[in-house]
């Protein structure tokens, strides 16, 4: 507590925080119009599902996925018993597929080891795969009203502005400071209601470009009083972006196409793709042909003309993936790596592919 007060300089932490919590809860009851199907939900399975989906996903995009998952898997045993391929297919387009992998693993764990009963303590929830401190606090407070403060991007932003904190939120010092502050000002008796309210406030009013004109706390917000609301919160680290070149071969034999599953610990793990050769530079058409022939020992492949080569790219959070696609036909199926399977072209839509490849399949195959 003393350390927080030192960091906040002359801010009267107790008085400001109590007044903020009081006004925030009042705003939540009278003016918070943000509607989401999981708000007020007490089923920990549904809360957990919504939180995993919303990790690194906008609410507007995640909403339809949440509704699809609840319809397909209304209870955790339904999710645990579902074929993995079907779950990944339902997840298709959300990105960050490790979340789906962890979702499946945790559903299986709860169904088999815990006999289908969702964990009821913060520590047990935190131990689930894919669940960090924020998600555990959200599930604990929303389902059981346990006194654990959530700390996501919205909350970081609100706290940094209300208390005029210039410590970078992505620094070790900042993470400790904000975590302690969030827990300090938490409304213990109304933890779930408070947590939802502060996230909604950050999403609708104290946005990256804040709506200060309609903010109920602007006359007491330290950042607003110092004209610094658009400068906070502060981040110290810059994200380095890696570029990768994925050269795909769409290899046909009559009506079938060769695909493989990505099993390595990398992006799109467990999704499917065409035959791939990755390069660290943009590859010429002739080099692609040589690489494919050498890698797959496919000298009998009849490649289409260079005009059929297709180029496009997809930006991920820390990567830019450049796609180069060429097409080839083979009169007789020759030995290919064991992980390659032949699928009817009309059946490709049943397999989970990365979003960009799925869009390509819908438009070109």
User: Which residues participate in catalysis according to the annotation?
Assistant: 51
Tokens of 7: 């960091």
DSSP assignment of 256-307: EEEEEE--SSSTTTT-EESEEEEESSPPPHHHHHHHHHHHHT-TT-EEPPGG
| CB-count exposure of residue 244 (10 Å: 0-12, 13-18, 19+) | middle
For strands 272-273 and 256-261, give the pairing.
antiparallel
Alpha carbon distance 343, 255 (integer Å):
8
Helix (H) or strand (E) segment spanning residue 140: helix 133-144
Please give the C-alpha separations between residue 170 and each of 8, 208, 315, 341, in angstroms, as whole numbers: 17, 16, 22, 44
CB atoms within 10 A of CB 12: 11
Among 211, 203, 215, 204, smallest CA distance to 154 is for 203
Phi, psi of 309 (to 5 degrees): -70, 135
- Please, what sign has the CA dihedral across residues 173, 176, 177, 178? positive
Cα(203)–Cα(158) distance, rounded to whole angstroms? 10
Contact 116, 108 (CB under 8 A): no
């Amino acid at each position: 507590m003393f350390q927080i007060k030192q960091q906040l300089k002359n801010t009267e932490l107790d008085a400001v925080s109590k007044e903020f919590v009081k006004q925030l809860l009042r705003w939540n009851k009278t003016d918070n119009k943000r509607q989401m199907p999981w708000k007020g939900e007490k089923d920990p399975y549904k809360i957990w599902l919504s939180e995993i989906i919303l990790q690194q996903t906008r609410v507007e995009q995640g909403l339809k996925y949440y509704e699809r998952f609840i319809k397909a898997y209304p209870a955790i045993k339904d999710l645990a018993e579902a074929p993995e391929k079907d779950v990944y297919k339902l997840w298709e387009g959300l990105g960050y597929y490790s979340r789906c992998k962890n979702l499946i693993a945790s559903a299986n764990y709860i169904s088999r080891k815990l006999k289908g009963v969702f964990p009821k303590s913060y520590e047990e929830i935190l131990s689930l795969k894919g669940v960090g401190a924020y998600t555990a606090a959200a599930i604990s407070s929303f389902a059981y009203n346990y006194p654990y403060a959530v700390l996501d991007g919205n909350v970081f932003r609100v706290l940094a502005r209300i208390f005029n904190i210039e410590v970078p939120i992505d620094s070790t010092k900042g993470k400790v400071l904000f975590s302690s502050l969030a827990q300090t000002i938490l409304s213990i008796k109304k933890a779930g209601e408070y947590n939802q309210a502060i996230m909604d406030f950050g999403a609708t009013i104290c946005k990256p470009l804040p709506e200060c004109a309609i903010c109920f706390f602007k006359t007491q917000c330290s950042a607003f009083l110092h004209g610094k609301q658009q400068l906070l919160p502060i981040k110290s680290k810059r994200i380095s972006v890696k570029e990768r070149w994925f050269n795909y071969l769409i290899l046909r034999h009559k009506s079938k196409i060769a695909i493989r599953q990505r099993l390595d610990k990398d992006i799109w793990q467990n999704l499917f793709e065409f035959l791939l050769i990755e390069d660290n530079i943009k590859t010429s058409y002739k080099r692609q042909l040589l690489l494919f022939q050498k890698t797959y020992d496919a000298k009998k492949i009849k490649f289409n003309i260079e005009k059929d080569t297709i180029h496009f790219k997809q930006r991920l959070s820390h990567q830019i993936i450049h796609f180069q696609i060429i097409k080839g036909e083979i009169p007789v199926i020759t030995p290919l790596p064991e992980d390659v399977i032949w699928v009817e072209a009309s059946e490709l839509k049943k397999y989970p592919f990365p979003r960009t490849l799925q869009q390509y399949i819908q438009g070109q195959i």
